[in-house]
Amino acid sequence: MLSKCKFVAGVQDKRSLPDFLVPEVAFAGRSNVGKSSLINAVTRNRKGARVSSSPGSTRQINFYLNEGVLALVDLPGYGYSKASKESASSYMSLVEHYLLTRETLHRLVLLIDSKVGLREIDMDFMSWLEEHCVHYSLVLTKIDRLTDREFDDVLSAVQGRVEGCCMLLRPIIGTSSKSGKGIKELVHEVSKCVKE
């Protein structure tokens, strides 16, 4: 269902946000979490989202429209230390503006690198989402780098953090853009949440 996604806009300031009226699902996470690779995997697009060799280089919000019925939104990665303080705060203000005002936003998908686990910056971001009542789902990326046992451990740790959190929508999905594991399940969840 997401294979018809086409890049339609890259936005760097609040005034340029597109005025689509279709449901949106946004993807966020730390720089280098595997967000571009995952967006390419769910859209089955080899060149849709740019896979960066330099972490933190995507400083804008990218919109991908799927046949006029759904938009995938690629938010800039956070937590990359080489970004200057000034540019970091200006894009965070763009992201905050988007998350707080976007009426068509149905779900935020927050990516966590399964090999790295939850970092303080992720927990701060989750607390911010909860405080502002932004519904989010968690996806663990790059699970091809873990054994089943390691995956279970990281999943339990993450589940422990979000236990009782009503802003999180379950399930927590493990994905690998390399092996394709979990991609179908994620596409299913994304397609389902726009019907909610």
Site of interaction with ligand GDP (CB under 6 A): 31-37, 51-52, 55, 77, 141-142, 144-145, 176-178
Minimal distance in Å, beta carbon 4 to ligand GDP? 21
From the CB of residue 170, how many other CB atoms can be counted at a distance below 10 Å?
10
Q: Is the Cβ of residue 30 or residue 106 nearer to ligand GDP in the bound state?
A: 30
Q: Whole-number minimum distance, CB 31 to ligand GDP, in Å? A: 5
Cβ closer to ligand GDP: 66 or 141?
Answer: 141
Q: For ligand GDP, which is the closer residue by CB, 104 or 151? A: 151
Q: How far is the CB of 51 from ligand GDP (least distance, A)?
A: 4
Of 72, 113, 77, nearest in space to 95 by CA: 77
Please, what's the b/e burial string for 108-139 (b: 16 or more CB within 10 A of its CB; e: otherwise)? bbbbbbbeeebeeebeebbeebbeeebbbbbb
Phi, psi of 19 (to 5 degrees): -105, 50
* Shortest distance in whole angstroms from residue 109 CB to ligand GDP: 12
What CA–CA distance (Å, rounded) separates 167 from 169? 6
Distances (CA, A) of 71 to 22, 121, 127: 7, 26, 25
The residue (of 69 and 121) whose beta carbon lies closer to ligand GDP is 121
